[in-house]
Structure 1
Amino acid sequence: MADATVRTARPDDAEAVVALRALVYPYLVRGVASTRQMIAAPPPGEEWTAFVAEVDDRLVGWVSAYRNIRTSEPDFGEVSLLHTHPEHRGRGVGTALLAAALDHLRALGVRRIRTWALEEALPFARRHGFTPSREMRYSALDLRPAPPMPPAPPGVRWRPLSELAPERMYEAEVATAADEPGDVPSDAIDYDTWRHDVWENIGLDRTASTAAEVDGEVAAFSLVMRDGDRMWSDYTATVPRHRGRGLARLTKQVALHRAAAGGVRVAYTSNDEANAPMLAVNARLGYRPMAAQWSCLRELT
């Protein structure tokens, strides 16, 4: 068998990348169009890039690397979704992809990095200087039958994203993201980055994605990223001063109901192990645990 060749990813790699992701991470949802968009037009300021590995002109590996500009921690970078086709593991493909990603981050002046690893990949991560940090839990929900549409609590109005201005959703995300559990805080989200990552994402379903509006303010929201009959609950949260009323669960239930009405058959989501409120919300909605990954940290010299 020929050695793997590592090169920079191109937009026309999208279909093969999605097929590989479905094999390695079947619970992650990002379609061909949004993957092509990500490669062709990465977020400004992140200096994002991706690499693929090929053997005999067949794509067998993928990794992306970028500067994390959503956090106030300086010089923090990400090595995202390193994965290798199961038939090509143990042959240096993952090591070659990781080396390309680290070289890219070094050139950016990144000093601390995070990656993610399945349990079986933790030995690989440790060999390359990473220390496991936090568990991310993945869950799935069959939307057959669809969750019922919940009645709106007094003073609450359900609004699809298609009826809202992006500036209002951005303000709500900024208000909710700073206390999200994680290795670094998400406390430096600028509007242009958010608009590129979320509002202009081809996969965003603005009909199913839902906000709970209270007195003209977005009090809670649940975002739906869709690929065919599969969806990803990208982010569900409640603005701090509206917490304690069950709005996150109810808003997410509305979004799931609307997604199912639009043809979605299975929903996936993830939560940090320390995010007890959202883990409880998902359990109450009927999600079942299906996988876990660990964030892994390393200093980059």
Structure 2
Amino acid sequence: MRIRSARPDDAPAVVALKALVFPYLVRGVASTRKMIAEPPPEVGWAGFVAEVDTQVVGWVTAQRNGSTSTADFGDINLLHVHPEHRRRGIGTALLTTATGHLAPLGVRRMRAFAQPEALPFARRHGFEPSRELRFSALDLVPPPALPDPPPGVRLRPIAEMDPQLLYAADLASAIDEPGDVPVDAMSYQSWRYDVWENLGLDKAASTAAEVDGEVAAFSLVKRDGDRMWSDYTCSVPAYRGRGLARLAKTAALHRAAANGVRVAYTSNDEENAPMLAINARLGYRPVATEWSCLAELT
């Protein structure tokens, strides 16, 4: 077994491994290859694989969190090992490599995510569970019923829109999103990389609800084949309570289904009651849970 930095040509193996361990996540080969070849700006991103006899059997990424004003905070994402190669020290080796990458970036407090069965591993390495996340799925054959927009509301695919307007709406809506740290400091450059220029973003299906020329709500679709991920659905605080987030998400699901998507996935913090209620009304069913886990980097 060896741990090494990821290479762009690892993308197919990384995606296949992730689909095995996390069947409720959606990220395609093209966007994974780009992430490895052209890492996110500003945050010191790095990806690492574990190999056994040239087979990729583990994966992890590490970076500073560039979306929060909380100083010295970093993320270790998608640490996972092929089920047939567990309990051999591979997960520990990947975690050690990831934390070693974070230390020179000035990170002092870090977050990782763990499935319930991995919580003992997390605790052994100094991580304590913090927040529970719910992953849900929705069959889109047929999609949920789409109501007519109320007077004064226009539904538009984001392909027709100025990304600066979506970025501003994203910042405004994320300010009170539940989480371990506030989401209050994402730069436009990072937002363009993570959202607008993501190769999996379906700009024809992703939908915004516009009121008087302003973005009141939107729902983003990231797609891989006939599977999609509702990446972010939100409404700007001034327009909340009018059902616009649900309307935008329903329209996005309809557009995705019309273009061949058969199942939609999403995730929510268990304390995000408004979005959980929207998903329940749309017919989403829970399929998995994870925990965010926090630790000090000493």
Q: Give the shorter-chain TM-score range.
A: over 0.9
Distance apart, 1:96 and its partner CA:
0.3
Aligned to 2:238: 241
- Give the SS at the match of 1:280: helix
Written as runs of structure 1 = structure 2, the 5 A alignment for 1:157-176 is: 157-176=154-173
Deviation at 1:107, TM superposition (A): 1.4
Query: Equivalences for 1:214-225 in 2 at 5 Å?
Result: 214-225=211-222
Deviation at 1:150, TM superposition (A): 2.1
Paired with 1:292 and 1:49, the residues of 2 have a C-alpha distance of: 26
Letter matched to residue 252 of structure 1: K
Aligned to 1:274: 271
What's the counterpart of residue 15 of structure 2?
18
Whether 1:124 and 2:121 are equivalent positions in the alignment is yes
1:63 is the counterpart of 2:60: yes
- Report the TM-score, using the length of structure 1 for normalisation: 0.98
- Superposition map of 1:109-148 within 5 A: 109-148=106-145
SS of residue matched to 2:41: coil
2:208 aligns to what? 211
Report the Cα distance in structure 2 between the residues aligned to 1:154 and 1:15, rounded to whole angstroms. Answer: 46
SS of the residue aligned with 2:219? strand
How far apart are 1:149 and its partner, in Å? 2.9
| Contact preservation (8 Å) 2:140, 2:262 | yes
Asked if the contact 2:144–2:283 (Cα under 8 Å) also holds between the matched residues in 1, the reply is: no
Q: Structure 2: which amino acid aligns with 1:44?
A: P
1:97 to 94, 98, 105: 94
The match for 1:230 is: 227
Alignment length (residue pairs): 298
CA-CA distance at 1:130 after TM superposition: 0.2
Coordinate RMSD, CA, aligned: 0.5
Q: Distance in 2 between matches of 1:150 and 1:48?
A: 42
Please list every run of 5 or more consecutive structure 2 residues that lacks an aligned counterpart in the other structure. Answer: none
Instruction: Find the counterpart in structure 2 of residue 192 from structure 1.
Output: 189
Alpha-carbon deviation of 1:134?
A: 0.2
Instruction: Find out whether 1:291 has 2:288 as its counterpart.
Output: yes
CA–CA distance in 1 between the matches of 2:280 and 2:222?
20
Query: What CA distance in whole angstroms lies between the structure 2 residues aligned with 1:50 and 1:191?
Result: 23
Return the offset for 1:239: 0.2
2: CA distance between counterparts of 1:27 and 1:136? 13
**Aligned amino acid, residue 161 of structure 1:** I
CA displacement 1:262-295 (0-9 Å, x = unmatched):
1000000000010000000000000000000000
Percent sequence identity is 71
Q: TM-score, normalised by structure 2?
A: 0.99
What CA distance in whole angstroms lies between the structure 1 residues aligned with 2:152 and 2:221? 24
Rounded to whole Å, the distance in 2 between the matches of 1:274 and 1:146 is 26
- Contiguous gaps of at least 5 residues in structure 1: none
Give the CA deviation at 1:250.
1.1
Matched, 1:5 2:19: no
